[in-house]
Amino acid sequence: MAGTMQFDLVSPERSLASLEVSEVQVPGADGDFTAMPDHAPTISSLRPGMLRVVHAGGTDEYVVSGGFAEVSGTGLSVLAERAVPKAEMTQDIFDQMIEEAANNSAEAYDNEPGPVDEAAKMLADMVAMGSEIGLSAK
């Protein structure tokens, strides 16, 4: 496919994707962005959200809870804290993700205001992402 780049998505549990893509919509912590071939080299942390991958066979969507994305001259690599194909996402998995975010938020209250704000934003992003895919927090 002309105008493509290599895309790799891995999480601690498994490798989820390795293919040629035309674009990837990334939920960046400092703002969402779309990586395409010849994108400027970039490193971004991820916020909880949807990672959308456009390739010759269609569009794949993955739920990510955090991690890092690195755009290089040859492609995009995403190292996700947790990533689940949208088709495999269930209410139980979402509840686990919300619980982890809530626990991180509770632990942050023992620290400085910065981590508290970040943990609260992460929890809010998780709830918003769930609403986007039709799942709700308890």
| 99-134 residue pLDDT tens | 887 777 666 556 565 666 777 777 788 788 888 888
pLDDT digits (tens, 9 = 90+) for 32-81: 999 999 999 999 999 999 999 999 999 999 999 889 999 997 899 999 99
**Residue 110: predicted pLDDT:** 60
Helix residue ranges per DSSP H, the chain: 91-108, 113-132
Q: Which two tokens stand for residue 112?
A: 């400085």
Two tokens, residue 44: 């971004």
Closest CA relative to residue 78, chosen from 135, 4, 19:
19
50 three-state secondary structure: strand
Give the global pTM.
0.82
Instruction: Compute the distance between CA of residue 40 and CA of residue 44 in angstroms, rounded to an integer.
Output: 12
The continuous run of DSSP H or E covering 79 comes out as strand 75-80
- Give the pLDDT of residue 45: 95
